[in-house]
Amino acid sequence: MGGSRGGSSRGFVGSPMCHCGEFVVVRVAKTVKNKGKQLWGCPNYKRTRNEEFQGCNIFKWRNEDNVDDAGSTIARQRRKINSLEKCVIGYQKREKMLTWMLCFMGFINIILLCILFKSP
């Protein structure tokens, strides 16, 4: 299957490299049956007609990228957001407590200064 070389460095989900050790690229199929359909492929596949090295021939249709991965990515991001929101709430509580402690310490310092300056 021939295709035009794309410039993307994004690869398969979980395995962005082909068997040649390079990032797979987006290609476009030119066959009658699959004309215009995008696929992930080896960047070394059929570089020129005269070269003997044709790459590792790895390919995967782009629309076959695990559709479930989108759902799992969203779920993972929601869990991360919830975790971060809990951290923010914890930090807000800590900030509030530290603010009250600072006010209390300031009040104690004022009282001590008043006592210190009233002494003969």
pLDDT for position 51 = 58
Same domain, 73 and 119: yes
Considering only 59-68, 72-81, 83-92, which range has the smallest mean pLDDT?
59-68
pLDDT at 113 over 70: yes
Q: How far apart are CA 38 and CA 30, in angstroms?
A: 10
Same domain, 94 and 115: yes
Average pLDDT, the chain: 78
Q: How far apart are CA 52 and CA 17, in angstroms?
A: 21
Same domain, 42 and 77: no
Q: Provide the whole-model pTM.
A: 0.39
Same domain, 93 and 54: no
Domain carrying residue 23: 1-65
Same domain, 73 and 53: no
Rg (the chain; Cα; Å): 31
Cβ distance 10 to 4 under 8 Å?
no
pLDDT at 28 over 80: yes
pLDDT at 32 over 70: yes
Same domain, 89 and 59: no
Same domain, 77 and 51: no
Domain total in the chain: 2
**Confidence class of residue 8 from pLDDT cuts 50, 70 and 90?**
very low
**How many helices and strands, by DSSP H and E, does the chain display?**
1, 4
